[in-house]
Chains A and B, each alone.
Chain A
Amino acid sequence: MDEQLKAELSKQGIFATTLQEIYNWGRRSSLWPLNFGLACCAIEMIATTMARYDLARFGAEVFRPSPRQADLMIVAGTVTKKMAPQVVRLYNQMPEPKYVISMGACAISGGPFKQGYNVLKGIDRYIPVDVYIPGCPPRPEALIDAFMMLQKKIDAQALTGESRPRHLHADAPSEFPVPAFGAHDLEPTHNPAVWQAPEPALVQIEPAAAAAAPGTASGSAHGPRND
């Protein structure tokens, strides 16, 4: 509908909208997060809900203690390999439409524990993540920013067409396989349908090749430049 016409109508006391707008407005304005924290990021998440930052302004004041009543999972903190199956199971138990915010360095990639033996290298290995917040831990403002980003994302979703949200796709999966405890690691180590190992962004030229062709644009980052 034409925005100008809408503004003109509203001046005359007529409010016009589309079903998509009102549907998305309803979804984004009552995102109920799951009452679920894993580590120190959870403290920031709790602070965000308290009077000073007041997440209730965005319609998210009710942290639900049951995944059956929650729309949003804020993965707040380090996901250990022992905890990962339970996180995925909680996500599976949430009804659609559901969203995930990956809060803090640990939930994104394992953070400072990335090279450890017991920490999952990012929750996006098993479940789809909508918004990532970097930080260790992120400030409450960062969580609010992520929340607003998620609201914008929901607002922009079209209800029909190929890009419609997952819960309107009859074939799109709503549940994701829960990893099993293996002898040495979680099995599988990631869900290939959700996550694939990233390729290196830049390929370094072999030092031998760089020496054979002096004067090329980029040489070895570590070896001496001979120009």
Chain B
Amino acid sequence: MDLATIKSELEASVPGCRLQIVDNPSPSAQHSLLVDPEHALLVATYLRDFLHFDYCSNVTGVDWLPKELSEKVKVKKTVDGPNGPQEKEVDEVRKTFVPGYLEVVYHLFSTADRTGPLPLRLRTPDRESTHLPSLTPIWRSCEFQEREVYDLFGIHFDSHPDLRRLLMWDSFTDHPMRRDYVDPDDYEYEPTAHDDVLARHRAHYSTGGGPSFPTGGGQ
């Protein structure tokens, strides 16, 4: 069953759900299904009970930063020329602002039909609102992986039975896989620092341009 069929079947069976196919342009062509958070539980139940997606193998979080897309568009404009006003095609750069959001991706398989994976995506409206429905009531295998996503990305899964940190300790307050995470500044001298590490080196040791080696010259 291809993704478009699944989508139309879901739309017919779960009234009001907003689905969207997210294309994957790479050679793998693993397209995924974007589900709105309000109907996610119903969609997941239907996928499990009627389309036999009985196994959720993987849950991942993604942090998408806000970004500005610029594209060149040809626009017809009237320009004042030497022979009076003329209509000309002018290139114009249009900038569109895409707000950031947090995303959870579920990889579903059907062991009964031997199909899959079906990647399912849930998105928050922006990076500040972090609540998404938990799919642990549908697939038990999501429990620890949703805890891991909560730990590393700070996404709160509503109606998760036991939402605690999984990898970091309980009194830890940050979410390390967020793109704006700032890790503790405990830099230690490194002989071959470069890039980010070199910038840290400069902040810690005011000895100029970083670690150096004897150049060997100077006869």
Q: Shortest CB–CB separation between residue B185 and chain A, in angstroms?
A: 9
A181-B169, A181-B171, A184-B173 given; A201·B191 CB < 8 A: yes
CB–CB A218/B215 < 8 A: yes
CB–CB A183/B171 < 8 A: yes
Q: How far is the CA of A222 from the CA of B176 in the complex (A)?
A: 33
CB–CB B210/A189 < 8 A: no
CB–CB A219/B215 < 8 A: yes
Determine which of B169, B184, B196, B205 lies in contact with A82 in the assembled complex, contact meaning CB atoms within 8 Å.
Answer: B169
Determine which of B197, B213, B217 lies in contact with A202 in the assembled complex, contact meaning CB atoms within 8 Å.
Answer: B213
User: What are the interface flags for A196-227 relative to B under an 8 Å C-beta threshold, 1 for contact and 0 otherwise?
Assistant: 01111111111100000001111111110101
Query: Is B208's beta carbon under 8 Å from chain A?
Result: yes
Count chain A residues whose beta carbon lies closer than 8 angstroms to a beta carbon of B: 37
User: What are the interface flags for A59-84 relative to B under an 8 Å C-beta threshold, 1 for contact and 0 otherwise?
Assistant: 00000000000000000000001100
* B interface residue count range (under 10 / 10 to 19 / 20 to 34 / 35 or more): 20 to 34
Determine which of B207, B208, B211 lies in contact with A207 in the assembled complex, contact meaning CB atoms within 8 Å.
Answer: B208
Per DSSP, are chain B's interface residues mostly helix, strand or loop, or mixed? loop
Q: Which stretch, A46-54, A113-121, A164-172, touches the partner chain B?
A: A113-121
Q: Shortest CB–CB separation between residue A108 and chain B, in angstroms?
A: 12
CB–CB B172/A181 < 8 A: yes
CB–CB A206/B189 < 8 A: no
Query: Is A185's beta carbon under 8 Å from chain B?
Result: yes
CB–CB A118/B168 < 8 A: yes
Determine which of A190, A200, A227 lies in contact with B207 in the assembled complex, contact meaning CB atoms within 8 Å.
Answer: A200
The residue on A at minimum CB distance from B210 is: A204
Per DSSP, are chain A's interface residues mostly helix, strand or loop, or mixed? loop
Query: Is A182's beta carbon under 8 Å from chain B?
Result: yes
A181-B172, A189-B184 given; A115·B197 CB < 8 A: yes
User: What are the interface flags for A130-145 relative to B under an 8 Å C-beta threshold, 1 for contact and 0 otherwise?
Assistant: 0000000000000000
The residue on B at minimum CB distance from A80 is: B167
A185-B184, A219-B217 given; A204·B212 CB < 8 A: yes
Determine which of A109, A185, A200 lies in contact with B205 in the assembled complex, contact meaning CB atoms within 8 Å.
Answer: A200
Chain B residues near A189 (CB-CB < 8 A)? 184, 186
CB–CB A121/B188 < 8 A: yes
CB–CB B167/A218 < 8 A: no
Q: How far is the CA of A227 from the CA of B211 in the complex (A)?
A: 22
Task: Report the 7 A-B pairs with minimum CB-CB distance, sorted nearest first.
Answer: A204-B212, A185-B184, A217-B218, A221-B212, A181-B169, A117-B183, A206-B208
